[in-house]
Structure formats: structure tokens, C-alpha cells
Amino acid sequence: MAGRQAKGKMLEGAPPKPRATRRSSDTGKGGGATRNAALMLLLVITVATIGGIGAFAWVMWGRLDRGLLAQRETARRRADWVRIDELPRFVTDAFTAVVDTASFQRTPPEERDRNPMLSRDLVRQVHRLGNLGVSGDARELVMAPLLERSLSKRGLLELYLNRISMGRTGDWPVYGVFHASREYFGKDVRKLTLGEAATLAGFLLPPALPSPEQAPGPVGARRNEVLRRMLASGRITEAAYRQAAREPLAFQPGADYSPMSRPAEWRRQPEVIRLPPELRPSRQLADSAAAAVARPSPGAE
């Protein structure tokens, strides 16, 4: 009897197994549903983010294609477009000693402001992204790599040399080495000396000179810094460096619409223009005119 009571008590105190099992099962189903919902939400956010980035890149590519790349195709047909193979080697070497030609994506962010970056500078200047803050930085971050994918390294450098801002002279902006050579030195870019090429490249050393004509003081120091970079990288020899460093600085402020450096005889008297023989007065007519001048007027005593 006592055994039955003990057994009954044990049975009465045991937890209801079916109910406990049902609760555990219900909890498991609820947790799985929550996890599935979270994963689905994360997937939706990821797809939306990727889609947004892709759409943004597509819009930026359209602007780049209609902007800078379209300008390039138009400019290449103009007489002031200069091909790289037309330039002395030291001209391109001077600019590549200053400008970072590495890929925008492969350059660490902390090094992007040490030297001007080729693709970044072009995109920023042509599409005027410099004063747009975070929006401009985002566009630049997308458009610079797209530009690098659109052109070869040689084509990109040629575009840079023909399109980059080279300061202002008076109220006129100067773009590209062709016009910079004419404005600042009064000569064709193909005839630049090593020192003159280094002078132009020095305009781009950070901080860039926005108006070299108004601040000619730093020009010589910048030229010599470019020459030192070219020497250190093996682009020029020691003898070439010394000769270019001793070269008189052909950069002097001048009158408006005149080159900033002119030969010493630029104020010489104009040449005498002589009439061709068929337009010259005859000897008899010249003698008659001379006699009329020498003859005293009537009434003169």
C-alpha cells in the first residue's frame, strides 16, 4: 500500500512531458522564423546597396562619357592638341616626376594628397567637383577609376598634358602644355628646354600655383625641386641637372597679352618697309618735288 502511494506521488510530481515537449517545439519554430526574417532583411539590404552603387556608377559613367571623354575626342582634332611622341622626352618626364600616375584604387588614401593624382585631377577639374564636399568626393571616387579603365596609361597622360589647368595669366585661364608654353615662354612646346619644362611642371607641386604671373617668387624653387626629383629617379643625368639648374629663369611678369619671358631685343625698332620698285616715284618726279620744296614762296624776301 505504501509502495502504491509512493509510486502515485512520484507520478503526480513528474513534469507533464507532452506539454513541455510542445513548448520546446514551439520555441524552436519561432526562433527559426526570426532568424530567417533577419537573413532575408540582410539580403534585401545587400541587394539594394549593390544596386544603388551600380546605378550610381552607371550615372557617373554617363557623365564621364559625355563630359571629359567627349572633350578629348573633340580636342584631338584641334591644332593645339600635342601628341606625346611630338614632345621631348624630358617634358613628359618632368610632369611624371610631379604627378602620381598610379591607379587611384591602388593608392592608399593617406598618400593621395601628397602629389596630384592624374585621373583624380582631370575628373575634379573638368567636372568641377572640388567644392561639392562629400558629394564631390563620392563622384571622384567612382569616376577616377572609370577614367583609368577607359584609356591606356599613355592616352591618359596625353590627355592630362593637353587638358590640365596651368594657372592663369591676367583674367585668362591656361590649359595644357601647348598654351602654357606660349603664354609663359613665348615658344612652341616642342622647343622647351629642360629647365622650362621643369618650371611648368613645378606649377603643379602642392599647393598648386593658381596664378604664377602674380607670384613669380616660388617659381625658381619649384623648378629646382622638380629637377631634383628627376635626378633622384634617374630621369636625367647629373650633368643635365647642373646645366638646367644654372639656366636663367626665363619667367618674368610682362605686359598683358605678351609672353612672360621675351628676348632682350623685344623692344627693338620696327624694320623699315621699302616699297617695291614699280611703286617707287620716278627720279624726275622726285627732283621736281625737291625743287618745289626748295623754291621760296611768292612774296618771301
DSSP string of 85-147, one letter each residue: GGS-HHHHHHHHTTSB-S-TTTS-GGGTTTS-BHHHHHHHHHTT-TTSTHHHHHHHHHHHHHH
Most confidently predicted of 88-102, 123-137, 257-271, 282-296 = 88-102
Alpha-carbon span 139 to 122, nearest angstrom? 13
Q: Which amino acid is at 215?
A: A
Q: Are 98 and 116 in contact (CB under 8 A)?
A: yes
pLDDT band at 286 (very low <50, low <70, confident <90, very high): low
Alpha-carbon span 234 to 244, nearest angstrom? 15
Model confidence pTM above 0.75 = no
Whether residue 207 is preceded by a cis peptide bond, meaning omega within 30 degrees of 0, is yes
Choose among 278, 272, 226: nearest CA to 116. 226
Q: Summarize the confidence of residues 167-194 as an average pLDDT.
A: 91
Sign of CA dihedral 93, 97, 98, 101: positive
Q: State pLDDT tens for residues 212-270.
A: 877 777 888 999 999 999 999 999 999 999 999 998 877 654 444 444 443 444 445 55
Q: Report all structural domains of the chain as residue ranges with CATH numbers, in order of start.
A: 68-246 (1.10.3810.10)
Most confidently predicted of 108-112, 139-143, 158-162 = 158-162
Q: Which is more confident, 113 or 160?
A: 160
Q: State pLDDT tens for residues 62-116.
A: 787 777 888 888 889 999 999 999 999 999 999 999 998 877 655 655 555 567 7
Has residue 5 got a pLDDT over 90? no
pLDDT band at 200 (very low <50, low <70, confident <90, very high): very high
User: How confident is the model at residue 277, as a pLDDT?
Assistant: 66
